[in-house]
Amino acid sequence: MSIFSLAITVLIGVLFFVLFFHISNFLLDYFRVKASKNFAFENSIRVIIFIAPAFIVLFVFIIYPVFETIRLSFYDKVGENFVGLFNYTWAINDPDFKRSIINNLGWLIVVPTLSTFFGLVIANLADKIWWGSIAKSIIFMPMAISFVGAGVIWKFMYDYRGPGDQQIGLLNAIAVAFGFEPQAWLTIPIWNNLFLMAIMIWIQTGLALVIFSAALRSIPNETLDAARIDGASELKIFWSIIIPYLEQTILVIWTIITILVLKVFDIIYAMTNGQWQTEVLANLMYDWMFRGGGDSGRGSVLAFCILIGVIPILAWNLYRHKQEQKV
Amino acid sequence: MKKLSFTSVFSQLLLLLFVIAWIVPTFGLFISSLRDKDVLAISGWWTSFTTTEVNEIYRTKGKEDQIKEGDHYFIKSNLFDENQGKEIFRFGVTSKNIDEYEVGKTALFKDETEITVFENGDYIWKSKEEFKKKKGKRIFVSAKSPPSFTLDNYKEVLLKEGLGQAFLNTFAVALPATLIPLIICSYFAYALTWMKFYGRDLLLATIIASLVVPLQMCLIPVLTIYNDFGALFGVSAKSYPGIWMAHTGFGLASTTFLLWNFLKTLPSEMIEAARVDGATHYDTFIKIVVPLSIPSFASIFILQFLWVWNDLLVGLVFLDKHPSEIILTAKLKELLGSRGENWEILTTGAFVSMTVPLFIFFSLQRYFIRGLVAGSVKG
């Protein structure tokens, strides 16, 4: 399509929603002037106008699908015949599924831990150095890039040429310079998972970094100065004051990255598509969504497994929200 | 004092190490996208800043270019198609001995013709008899190649590989998919903050729960709805409005939550005063709340825009792979499969897909960070 027709489509799409709110509110005001002043009635109409579009979207795209997916997990591939726990028993005995669970657990342990750790260390280093904010910008930059773009960047880093050839991937060039054999990194089972995780860590460290930087600024300077006067070393201050102070922040960052890692898809799909034992739940789920015309039963079971992973976090968030509402 | 400076030097070095490790992958990609595709395939990008030695094969011109001077026939030309600043230092005429002769010396072919190759690629090929073959002979050269960069890859990728169209498509997806949720969520968040109605707390709890629901939980039923809808009205299930609404749905919870978080910090006296003066909720929203929320809108706009721009999964499921609909990330993934060894296309394509996010990142970093931090405080 040409720029022009794309622009028109975009404009119509956006205007539709702007006009919906303007016109419906205008009509309400218009009839209010004419009709008797029934405020309660007017208010409830207004509430409906304000809420309805968002609620319909929320219902169609989130609420209904969540329950429908759970229902479909007990049905066959076209979602018509009840098959009980068939899809679940299939999953438990499926080697790809087992591999995915193991890999997802690996991702869950390694990525949030290292991202949070690097973020914390860099935030502390950058805080005291005059060029710290430039350093932070650079480390934060991968946050803006797509996973696929990051995938290309790292596939280039991991590129492999035969032992006699010039290596054009940086990692192999370094390996060769130190006298090692070049490796096709992404095809070495078990280890290749770490090379894929490295990409996610590379991206998410920036997130941890900016949140920690903001939190660090809230630590009262008097506390730190007092510790310094008492002769505490920087390392001691880090462990005994900064870490306990940031406990809540660490937990928050950990959960954000955990949620992200649970549904990691793009990186695997773009880099290995689950080959060489790198399969994860989200990629397997996408695969079953379309494999052989699509299997909604198996796809739903896999999606449900991802949901189970986030339920503790979901419950905790709701609990905290309730606590805050009370205050 | 001495100890302090040691710590400071150490932390500077450590930070520098982190910075290098973080910037090098992207930098390498960027440099590679600017290199000639033939050089890119055989040498690492880090060699592109220095003069490198390359071995190359060229072919001389054939009989059509010969001239007769005295008793001899000559073909005089230059081996290089265009001047790339290469300097030849050795050359050869057989594949067995590709650097047999020093530059400027004269080599002898088997058919007793003679060739002299000069540093800049000029050559003089001399024969006693008329040249008969249309095709020239192969010349092997060892040359020093100075650093050289080109925008050719960008031309190739944008025009021939269809990334230019994909770029526009991504805009056509991302702009409405950012503006629509912003519009409907701002009304929604206003209602959740300042209007009293039955079930408000339940709705808020639903939003908070929806924040962490994985996208995968919603894909299959939504796709089914789309297919049914498409079949019912005889239209394609995959369309721009379809993906706008899908992104609106999947971004609704976070957009609403961020806005709600901001709106509740506004002083309630101000809103109530306006209400007492007889302003409707609509007037209050348009005239008071929206102007005050502009910075917060900016942060949320950037977050959602980048999310949509960088998304692959939703684009794969709800859009066709047809050139008129394919988005950048899907196109890039397609190239990874089909052109996996053409690094000039992949590196350039990846960089094209990164231009808009990087522009936003560098120009609006403050809003971006503010949005991220605001979104994360509550998780």
Query: Do A117 and A235 sit in the same domain of this protein?
Result: yes
Chain B residues 253-272 with a CB less than 8 Å from chain A? 253, 256
Query: Do B305 and B262 sit in the same domain of this protein?
Result: yes
Query: Do B289 and B305 sit in the same domain of this protein?
Result: yes
Using 50, 70 and 90 to split pLDDT, how confident is the model at A35? low
**Residue B3 counted as domain residue:** no
Q: Are B191 and A50 an interchain contact pair (Cβ–Cβ within 8 Å)?
A: yes
pLDDT digits (tens, 9 = 90+) for A181-234: 898 889 888 899 999 999 999 999 999 999 999 888 888 888 888 888 888 887
Number of domains in chain B: 2
* B279 contact A CB<8A: no
Query: Do B90 and B197 sit in the same domain of this protein?
Result: no
**Residue A279 counted as domain residue:** yes
Q: Report the pLDDT value the prediction gives residue B379, as an integer from 0 to 100.
A: 34
Query: Do A46 and A165 sit in the same domain of this protein?
Result: no
Residues of A in contact with B368 (CB under 8 A): 144
* Distance separating alpha carbons of residues A158 and A146, to the nearest angstrom: 18
Q: Report the pLDDT value the prediction gives residue B378, as an integer from 0 to 100.
A: 39
Closest by Cα among B74, B79, B33, B78 to B58: B79
* Distance separating alpha carbons of residues A210 and A65, to the nearest angstrom: 34
**Residue A81 counted as domain residue:** no
- Whether A37 has a pLDDT exceeding 70, the answer reads no
Query: Do A266 and A186 sit in the same domain of this protein?
Result: yes
Query: Do A49 and A149 sit in the same domain of this protein?
Result: no
- Whether A255 has a pLDDT exceeding 80, the answer reads yes
Of B128, B146, B164, the last residue of a domain is B146
Farthest-apart Cα atoms in chain B, separation: 109
* Distance separating alpha carbons of residues A204 and B15, to the nearest angstrom: 17
Q: Are B256 and A54 an interchain contact pair (Cβ–Cβ within 8 Å)?
A: yes
- The stretch A94-109 carries a mean pLDDT of 94
Secondary structure (3-state) at B340: coil
Query: Do A155 and A278 sit in the same domain of this protein?
Result: yes
Q: Are A307 and B213 an interchain contact pair (Cβ–Cβ within 8 Å)?
A: yes
Of A21, A40, A72, the last residue of a domain is A72
- B347 residue type, one letter: T
Predicted complex ipTM: 0.91
Of B103, B125, B146, the last residue of a domain is B146
Q: Report the pLDDT value the prediction gives residue B377, as an integer from 0 to 100.
A: 45
Provide the edge-to-edge strand list for the sheet that holds B106-108. B67-69, B72-78, B122-127, B114-117, B106-108
Residue B265 is classified by DSSP as T
Query: Do A259 and A284 sit in the same domain of this protein?
Result: yes
**Residue B123 counted as domain residue:** yes
Q: Report the pLDDT value the prediction gives residue B4, as an integer from 0 to 100.
A: 57
Query: Do A64 and A98 sit in the same domain of this protein?
Result: no
Residue of chain A nearest B181, judged by CA positions: A54
B interface mutation test: which of A1, A15, A45, A50 has the most B CBs within 10 A? A50
B255 burial (CB, 10 Å; 0-12 / 13-18 / 19+) is buried
The CATH number of the domain where B178 resides is what?
1.10.3720.10
Query: Do B110 and B231 sit in the same domain of this protein?
Result: no
pLDDT digits (tens, 9 = 90+) for A151-185: 999 999 999 988 888 888 999 999 999 988 898 88
Residues of B in contact with A306 (CB under 8 A): 214, 216-217
Query: Do A242 and A161 sit in the same domain of this protein?
Result: yes
- The stretch A243-272 carries a mean pLDDT of 90
Using 50, 70 and 90 to split pLDDT, how confident is the model at A45? confident
- The contacts of residue B58 (CB under 8 Å, 6+ apart) are B79, B80, B121, B138, B139, B141
The CATH number of the domain where A168 resides is what?
1.10.3720.10
**Residue A215 counted as domain residue:** yes
Query: Do B241 and B357 sit in the same domain of this protein?
Result: yes
Are the C-beta atoms of residues A144 and B351 closer than 8 Å to each other? no
List per-residue pLDDT tens for chain B, 379 residues long.
445 577 788 889 999 999 999 999 999 999 999 988 888 888 888 888 888 777 888 888 888 888 888 888 888 888 887 766 788 888 888 888 888 888 888 888 888 888 888 888 888 888 888 888 888 888 888 888 777 788 888 988 888 888 999 999 999 999 999 999 999 999 999 999 988 888 999 999 999 999 999 999 999 999 999 999 988 888 888 889 999 999 999 999 999 999 998 898 888 888 888 888 888 888 889 888 999 999 899 999 999 999 999 999 999 999 988 888 899 999 999 998 888 788 889 999 999 999 999 999 889 888 888 887 776 543 3
Say which residue, A88 or B65, is predicted with more confidence: A88
**Residue A78 counted as domain residue:** no
Query: Do B225 and B287 sit in the same domain of this protein?
Result: yes
Closest by Cα among B153, B173, B176 to B350: B153
Chain A residues 80-139 with a CB less than 8 Å from chain B? 118, 121-122, 125-126, 128-129, 132, 135, 137-139
- DSSP track, A249-297: HHHHHHHHHHHHHHT--HHHHHHTTTTTTT--HHHHHHHHHHGGG--HH
Which residue segment(s) compose the domain that A28 sits in?
Answer: 3-72
- Point out the residue among B23, B24, B208 whose CB comes nearest to the CB of A317: B208
Of A14, A39, A72, the last residue of a domain is A72
The distance of A13 to chain B (nearest Cα, Å) reads 7
Tokens of B376: 């994360």
**Residue B187 counted as domain residue:** yes
**Residue A77 counted as domain residue:** no
Which residue segment(s) compose the domain that B220 sits in?
Answer: 154-377
**Residue A242 counted as domain residue:** yes
Residues of B in contact with A263 (CB under 8 A): 214-216
**Residue A82 counted as domain residue:** no
* Distance separating alpha carbons of residues B56 and B67, to the nearest angstrom: 27
- The stretch A243-252 carries a mean pLDDT of 88
Q: Report the pLDDT value the prediction gives residue B178, as an integer from 0 to 100.
A: 95
**Residue A79 counted as domain residue:** no
Query: Do A109 and A40 sit in the same domain of this protein?
Result: no
Number of domains in chain A: 2
Query: Do A105 and A45 sit in the same domain of this protein?
Result: no
Closest by Cα among B122, B152, B126, B134 to B58: B122
Instruction: Provide the sign of the torsion angle of the four alpha carbons B8, B13, B18, B23, taken in this order.
Output: positive
Of B146, B177, B206, the last residue of a domain is B146
